[in-house]
A and B are shown apart, each in its own frame.
Chain A
Amino acid sequence: DAKTTQPNSMESNEEEPVHLPCNHSTISGTDYIHWYRQLPSQGPEYVIHGLTSNVNNRMASLAIAEDRKSSTLILHRATLRDAAVYYCTPTTGNQFYFGTGTSLTVIP
């Protein structure tokens, strides 16, 4: 199973970009990389996912390294609503592995 390494916590000023890194060095060639975020006492919410090339949606951008051993979630302008725990989850055969994630604090 692919395992992940993420910083335990990060801080960002409001309205500044945030780059959340994730290492997944044991990922297999067919694993997608998903990102989810979770507010306290709530279920996680899907953010973005990709396989090889960079991806953009209305919430964020996902930059995937050429060797696929790492990826970076980019929030272009952090808001207070973006404060959450962010999980990077490689998927193997529709099984999703969730590590401990990165707790993002947004400073007003």
Chain B
Amino acid sequence: DGGITQSPKYLFRKEGQNVTLSCEQNLNHDAMYWYRQDPGQGLRLIYYSQIVNDFQKGDIAEGYSVSREKKESFPLTVTSAQKNPTAFYLCASSKLDRATNEKLFFGSGTQLSVL
């Protein structure tokens, strides 16, 4: 089945540790996104990428890093510089078509907690 796969579903980080969240899609979508969601809050954009080897910062990029070496993969690293990383992280993808403004497809999310 086509879709977006996020792993792991739950992740624990020790203080000072970097952790990487995986996001893979087989929808042949050009654009991929990372969002952070805190309890009872909306989604905030961390990073997005519209083409391989290129990405842009969103509203809350500090303390995070990404790479886009392959079209189907967009991993997110939560670095030790992110002092409050506990949140629900969502990956999404979409086609790029400015004429029709294609919809977002979301993964099932990764819950990151600090030990």
For residue A49, which residues in chain B have a CB less than 8 angstroms away from its CB? 101, 103
Interface residues of B in 76-111 (CB under 8 A from A): 88, 90, 92, 94, 96, 98, 101, 103-109, 111
Residues B109 and A91 in contact, CB atoms below 8 Å apart? no
Check if A43 sits within 8 Å of B103, measured CB to CB.
no
Tell me the bound Cα distance from A94 to B51 in angstroms: 13
B53 at interface by CB-CB < 8 Å: no
Cα–Cα, bound, A94→B49 (Å): 10
Instruction: Say which size band chain B's interface belongs to.
Output: 20 to 34
Main secondary structure of the interface of B (DSSP, over half): strand
Structural contact, A44 and B96, CB atoms closer than 8 A: no
Are B107 and A94 closer than 8 Å at their CB atoms? no
Q: Which residue in A41, A45, A51, A97 is a CB contact (below 8 Å) of B111?
A: A41
Interface residues of A, CB < 8 Å — how many? 22
Q: How far is B40's CA from A43's CA once the two chains are assembled, in angstroms?
A: 14
CA distance A34 to B33 in the complex (A): 16
- Evaluate contact between B104 and A44: CB separation under 8 angstroms: yes
Which residues of A lie under 8 Å from residue B90 when comparing CB positions? 43-44
Whether B103 lies near A46 (C-beta < 8 A) is yes
Task: Indicate which residue in B41, B48, B109 contacts A43 across the interface (CB closer than 8 Å).
Answer: B109
B112 at the interface (CB under 8 A from A): no
Q: Say yes or no: A98 contacts B35, CB within 8 Å.
A: yes
Contact B92–A101 (Cβ < 8 Å): no
Interface, chain B (partner A; CB < 8 A): 4, 31, 33, 35, 40-45, 48, 50, 58, 88, 90, 92, 94, 96, 98, 101, 103-109, 111
Known pairs A43-B4, A98-B44; list 6 more (Cβ under 8 Å). Answer: A44-B90, A46-B104, A87-B42, A93-B98, A94-B101, A100-B42
A residues at B contact (CB < 8 Å): 32, 34, 36, 41-46, 49, 51, 87, 91, 93-101
A-B contact pairs, 12 of them (CB 8 A): A34-B101, A34-B104, A36-B104, A45-B106, A46-B105, A93-B98, A94-B50, A94-B96, A95-B45, A96-B33, A96-B45, A100-B42
